[in-house]
Structure formats: structure tokens, C-alpha cells
Structure 1
Amino acid sequence: MKKKIFGEVFGSALLVFFGPALVVMGGYNDLLGPSLGWGISLAVLVYAFGPLSGAHFNPAVTVMMFLTKQMKAAETLIYIVSQLVGGLIGGLFLVLTYKAYLKGAGLSWATEVAKNNLNSTVFPNISAGLAFLVEVVLTTVLLVVVLVLNNDKTKVYNLQAPIAIGLTIAILVFAAGNLTGASMNPVRSLFPALFAGGMAMDDLWVYLTAPFVGSIFGALIDRYILRD
């Protein structure tokens, strides 16, 4: 179990750091760079930590694994706590490095974070209800890909699974990044929002609930479609 805990803590920390860092310190003005960055980062992390923990890094994935009876309740709880701890570590490291970056560039933390929200997931252009629906759909798509790749009949493609998941993330971020930020992960949204404050906290509930609805849909698809 210690290897699984290590994998989820360290992997979640790197995910929460890498994704927002490449956006706030990369100076991108479009979605191409961030979408590729998120996708490649996740693919590398899955390759690195998949053999240890299965590389969930996402409570929605873990809950879906529990609902599909691939994990027991105690292990599910341990995974989620590990992901939260990792997210906190990654968020703290993001703040530490970004403050140093801004100081070196002669920029103000308050001014810059007001602009980029530490790459928190926000939806200034659509309603909360539509944002919730978008996040449910995105998470369901991601989880169905995970389920297909974990199916007994497709495990022959395990070596390519991290690439498939990374490409899925890249496509979803590119498609919906301007709508909701394409979170699909409560941990990914929670800690940048906590450290950024302001607008990032206003509708955080969307990102803390919608992915778990996606978990339920994923479990239903697994039970009534993929099992056959």
C-alpha cells in the first residue's frame, strides 16, 4: 500500500503543479500550448506512476473504480486522501515558485493572480448550470476512455494507454478550455482556487461535484455496456 500512497501523493502533487505552472509562467495566449502541456504531462505521469498506484490522481477516477467494484471502500478512501495531500503539496510548490518568478520579473502577485487566477478553472462566459453540464460530459468522456483501456479485452494495449489518456486530456482541454477550464478533477480545481481566492472560489462547487456525477455515469456505462 505504501507504493500506492506514494504514487498518488507524488503524482497528484506534480499534476497540480505542472498544469497551472505551464500556463501562468508560460505566457500562452491560446489553448494549443496548455492543452498539449496538460496532455503530455498526464501521459508522462501515468507512465511514471501507473505501475505503482494505477495513476488515478483524480478522486473521480477513484470513485468510479469503487463503483465498478475494482476497488474496496478502505482503499478508495486512502487514495482520495493521498490525492488531496498531493494536491496541497503541489499547490504550495506552485505558489512558492510563482512568487519567486514574479519577484524576479518585478511583477505583483495580487495583480497577476487577479488576471490568471493561478490557472484555476473558472467559467466567466457561461452559466453555472451549463458549466456543470460541460464538466459532467467531459469527465464522463475521460472516464469511459479509462474504462475501455482497463477492460480485460483491451489490456493488450496497456503500453499505449498513457498516450491515449494524454491525448484525450489534450483534446478535451482544447475543446472546452475556454468554457470551464476543462478540469474533470476536483483536486486539480480545488488547490489553485484556494491559493488564488477571488473569482476562483465563487463557483468552486461546480468542480467539486460535477466530476463525481461523471463517475456515476461512467459506472453505469461500464455496467450496462462495456461489461458485455
Structure 2
Amino acid sequence: MSDNTTPSTANKLVAEALGTFVLVFGSISTALFASDFGASANGTSLGVGFVGVALAFGLTLMAGIYAWGPISGGHFNPAVTFGLAAAGRFAWKDVPGYLVAQIVGGAVGTTLIVLIGLFGTDGWLANAQDSGFASNGYGEHSPGGFGLGSAIIAEILFTAVFILVILGVTHARRGATGFAGISIGLTLTFIHLASIPIDNTSVNPARSIATAIYGGGDALAQLWVFILFPLVGGLLAGLLHRGLFEPTPAQPLQAEARTK
């Protein structure tokens, strides 16, 4: 008899698309609409700045994890999917479907932002696209002027840290504490706080693809960096975690033997 409580493949893919959509739509909306909103009459800034954008990424991820994580596992990021597969926590055969769902969800998010912008103030959408549409970038497209090497190293390291935290807080030995989503969301927040000035922070190829679609030729030309190196970071983290913390088939038997 089949277990009716087990999500179907379609359920999982829809959940991944929805979670990625919320992540991209909420965080990129914050970056484009609210990060630099201007100043009040007394000169007080009305924008949320880097801190607000970093919090938007963390909070939207947290919301997606608690809403749809029980259905799909709450990846919402190709680098997470690669990392979990490399760690032995996710089947490689299911990776392509998750990647497609994540990319589609992210692209729908930025497309709806464009739709909102069409009815905005004159020139808002054109200015947003001319400015890169919150895309990732290096060199002259880096917020802090950091070069290609900095972007490559940052994307590998910060993605690896992100995946290691995910694998750690969701490890079976920790049990079901219910706080994993908070830890993961706050980790993404601190990653953005640290790395937005470097390359506008990817650590998520679906996010990078979604913004580059509307970010113009330069964003598309540099996109390969923000697809390739987060995936490299995810794979390295998954393999490292598997080698250090996941038991081999012989380990449980050895532990049992020592107790006799």
C-alpha cells in the first residue's frame, strides 16, 4: 500500500519553485525598491540599505523553509541541491528536476518585479535595468570594485560555509529541534552582510540567473561565475561533510562491537 502522506515528485518540484520564488521575489524586491529609497524631509534615510537587503534574504529563506521544507526539503538553491547530493543526503537522479524548478521559480520572481516596475514612476524600470537589476558582478559591476578573483573565492567560500551549516543543523544526530530554519536563514543573512560589497552576493545560481535575465548584457556575460563557483562551493562542502561527519557502513558495527 502506498503512503499517501509522502509528497509526490510533482509536489516536491512545485514546493521548490514556490520557495525559490519567495526567496527571489522578496529579497530582490527589497534590493530594488527599498534599499535606497531616498531621504525624508529632515534628511533621514528611508532606505533599508545593505542590512535590510541581507535580512530580506534570510527572512524569505526562513519563510520558505518552514512553509515548504517539509515537502521538498527546502533547497531553493542549486548549490544546496548539489551539496546535499554530494553529502549523500539527496539522490543525484532527482537533481535535474530540482534545478529546473528552482530556476523557473526565481525567474517568475524577477518577472513579477518587472511587471510591478512597468507601472512605477517614469524611468524606474529602465534605471533598474541599466543599474544591473541587482545582478551579481565583479570589476566595475562589483559594489566595492572587487575583481574576478575576489568573486570566485568569495562564492566558493561563502557557499561552502552555507552548505556546511545546512548539513550540520539538519544532521540526523541532532534530532527534530524545529530551529534549523532559523539557523539557516540567519546564516544566509550574515553571508550577505559580509559579501554584498564584494559581488552583490550570489551563493545561489537560481538567484543569479533570475536577476541577470533583466540585468543586461554585462550581467549575462558575467553570469557564468555565479553559476559555476557556488556549485563548486556546494560540492566541496558536501564532500567535506560526508568525509568528516557521515558514518560509513562499518562504523555502526564497530560501535556496537565496542559495547559488547
Common fold: TM-score over 0.5: yes
Percent sequence identity is: 29
Q: Distance in 2 between matches of 1:85 and 1:10?
A: 9
Q: Assess, with a 3 A threshold, how the Cα gap between structure 1 residues 40 and 29 changes in structure 2: closer, same or farther.
A: closer
Q: What are the Cα deviations for residues 3-24 of structure 1, in whole angstroms up to 9, with x where unaligned?
A: 1011011111222211111111
Runs of 4+ in 1 over 4 A off after TM superposition: none
Question: Match for residue 181 of structure 1?
Answer: 200
Letter in 2 for 1:14: V
Q: Which residue of 1 aligns with 2:14?
A: 6
AA at the equivalent of 1:3: N
Identify the match of residue 24 of structure 1 among 18, 28, 32.
32
Q: Give the TM-score normalised by the residue count of structure 1.
A: 0.92
* Structure having the higher Rg: 2
Q: Is the 8 A contact 1:25 1:98 kept in 2?
A: no
Q: Does the CA contact (< 8 Å) of 2:59 and 2:185 recur in 1?
A: yes
Match of 1:118? Answer: 133
Structure 2 residue corresponding to 1:150, chosen from 165, 170, 192: 170
- 2:104 equivalent in structure 1: 85
**CA RMSD in angstroms, aligned pairs only:** 1.6
Cα distance per residue 1:86-112 (max 9 Å; x no partner): 1222221121112222xxx23343233
Q: In structure 2, the residue corresponding to 1:183 is in which secondary structure?
A: coil
Q: Which has the higher helix share?
A: 1
Local SS of the residue matching 2:119? helix
Output the CA distance in 2 between the equivalents of 1:227 and 1:108. Answer: 50
Deviation larger for 72-81 or 177-186? 72-81
Residue 72 of structure 2 corresponds to residue 53 of structure 1: yes
Higher relative CO (Cα under 8 Å, sequence separation at least 6) belongs to: 1
Could you tell me how far apart the structure 2 residues matched to 1:192 and 1:6 are?
21
1:58-207 superposed matches below 5 A: 58-101=77-120, 105-115=121-131, 117-123=132-138, 124=142, 125-157=145-177, 159-207=178-226
Contact persistence 2:83–2:237 (CA under 8 A): yes
- The code of the aligned residue for 1:169 comes to L
Preserved CA contact (<8 Å) 2:103 2:209 = no
Query: In 1, distance between residues paired with 2:234 and 2:129?
Result: 31
Q: Deviations over 1:35-88 (max 9, x none)?
A: 111111111111111111111011111112222222223211111111122122
Q: Distance in 2 between matches of 1:154 and 1:180?
A: 34
Segments of structure 2 that go 5 or more residues without pairing to the other structure are: 1-8, 38-46, 248-260
Using structure 2 for the length normalisation, give the TM-score. Answer: 0.81
Partner amino acid for 2:241?
Answer: D
Partner residue, 2:257: none
Q: Which moved more, 1:11-20 or 1:44-53?
A: 11-20
